[in-house]
Structure formats: C-alpha cells, structure tokens
Structure 1
Amino acid sequence: MLLKRISGYVLLALILCGIVPRRAAAQAGKKIEIVAKRYDFTPGDITVKKGEPVTIVLTSKDVDHGLKFKDFNVSVSAKKGETKEVTFTPDKTGTFVGQCSVFCGSGHGSMKLSLHVTD
C-alpha cells in the first residue's frame, strides 16, 4: 500500500513538473482484476468513468473463460491458469452486461458481470 502511495506521489510530481505529460498519466487509467471460474466473475460488478481508459485483467482459474462487452466491442479470453489483459475507453454511460465468451459448461449462459459507466 505504501509503495502504491509513494509511486502515485512520484507520478503526480512528474506531471506537475511537466516531465510526464498529463495525457500519458490519463492513459494509465484504471486497472481492474477479475477472476473467472465456473460460473462466476469476481467481482461481479465494476464501476468506471466515461472517457477514462480501463484495463481489464482477466484470470481464469479452472477452465478457459472469456469476457465480452458487446456494447464496447471489447473481448478478452484466457486459458486455464492464464491471465490476459485488454484496455478500452468507455464512450457512453449506463449499465452494461459482460458475458463469458468461451463455452465453459452448463452454467455458461448465466456467467455475467455488470459494468457501470458513470460521468
């Protein structure tokens, strides 16, 4: 926790001094770690801001899984035991449903995640 706080202060200082452009800092965005296992995404609800980059870090625990948000044309998949990332910038507000995009068994159709995008 302390290391994150220190690195955040260092980044802020570099931005204020003009060494790191604000755009580069904004592109860093929010990183959200999601664990997929039959038939669940943890966490099951995530909230992000419109116009801010988001990196989804998907880890598959038991079998191959994927996560797709049709509304944003975003998809990521990971094999059993793997972690994969995808970065996107939400361009609209609302609540959107992400679904498992790799068939993982009988409960596959109920494997969903809610993405809340706010202003």
Structure 2
Amino acid sequence: MTIDTQRRALMGAAGALALSSMLAFAMDKKPKVRVIKVMAKKFEFVPGEIHVKKGETITLQFTAPEVPMGFNLPDFGARTDIVPGKLATLQLTPAKTGSFTFLCDVFCGSGHEDMNGTLVISE
C-alpha cells in the first residue's frame, strides 16, 4: 500500500512538472510580427501594394523624405501621421480577406488626390 501511494505521488508530480513546462513554453511562444517598411513620397506609397495573410500581425514602418503625409486605411480604422525625419509605426492584424485601399489623408501637393495603395489580404 505504501509503494502505491508513493508511486501515485511521484506520477502526479511528474505530470504536474510536464504540464507546467508545456504551459511555460506555450506562453513564451509569441507570434512573429512582420515589419514592412513603407515610404510616403510625392505622390505615392512605396510599395504601393502590400500583401499579407489573414491573421498575420504586421508592423508598418513609415518614413516621408519630403513633406508631412498621412496614412489612412479606413476599412480597418487605422491611421497615422508621417512626419519627415521621424519613423511612424502602425501595427495591424487583419481579420478579413480582400483588397483594401489605403490613402494619404494629409494634403501634400498637386498630386495628393491620386496618392493611394492597396493592402491585399489572403487566406
């Protein structure tokens, strides 16, 4: 009877250790965030088309070499100002698929109205 009790206690401790190890590993595993660099220059975004997967977390890093710009992705409620000499970042995890237009929403000159791009999200 003593051997069975000790054996059960040992097996329980081993199981608890294995479970806590798996939990610690799962909690430590963070999803990778892909960084995409975007330059906003007169009168275009480079790149003008960005491809991502649904559920993929991305960080958009914006620079503007000339004048202040804006980035607006209305379908996701995402927006930021882009100021020359400063890095602007925007993190996004798209939950839907399709092609979505983003645009400059800060007047940047006579070609401003045509300054847009496309975010393409696939399965």
TM-score (norm 1): 0.78
Aligned counterpart in structure 2 of residue 54 of structure 1, from 53, 58, 61: 58
TM-score (norm 2): 0.75
1:21-36 alignment, distance < 5 Å? 21-22=28-29, 24=30, 26=31, 28-36=32-40
C-alpha root-mean-square deviation of aligned residues, in Å? Answer: 1.6
Separation of aligned partners in 1, 2:59 and 2:35: 5
Runs (4+) off by over 4 Å: none
Contact 1:37/1:61, CA 8 A, preserved across alignment? yes
Contact 1:62/1:81, CA 8 A, preserved across alignment? no
Corresponding residue of 1:8: none
1:59-74 alignment, distance < 5 Å? 59-74=63-78
Contact 1:62/1:80, CA 8 A, preserved across alignment? yes
Q: Which amino acid aligns with 2:120?
A: H
Corresponding residue of 1:14: none
Q: Which amino acid aligns with 1:18?
A: F
Corresponding residue of 1:87: 91
Contact 1:55/1:85, CA 8 A, preserved across alignment? yes
1:113 Cα offset (Å):
1.1
The structure that has the greater radius of gyration is 2
Q: Which amino acid aligns with 1:92?
A: K
1:52 Cα offset (Å):
1.4
User: How many pairs does the alignment contain?
Assistant: 100
Separation of aligned partners in 1, 2:91 and 2:38: 13
Q: Which amino acid aligns with 1:68?
A: N
Where 1:114 maps in the other structure, the secondary structure is strand
Separation of aligned partners in 2, 1:108 and 1:116: 22
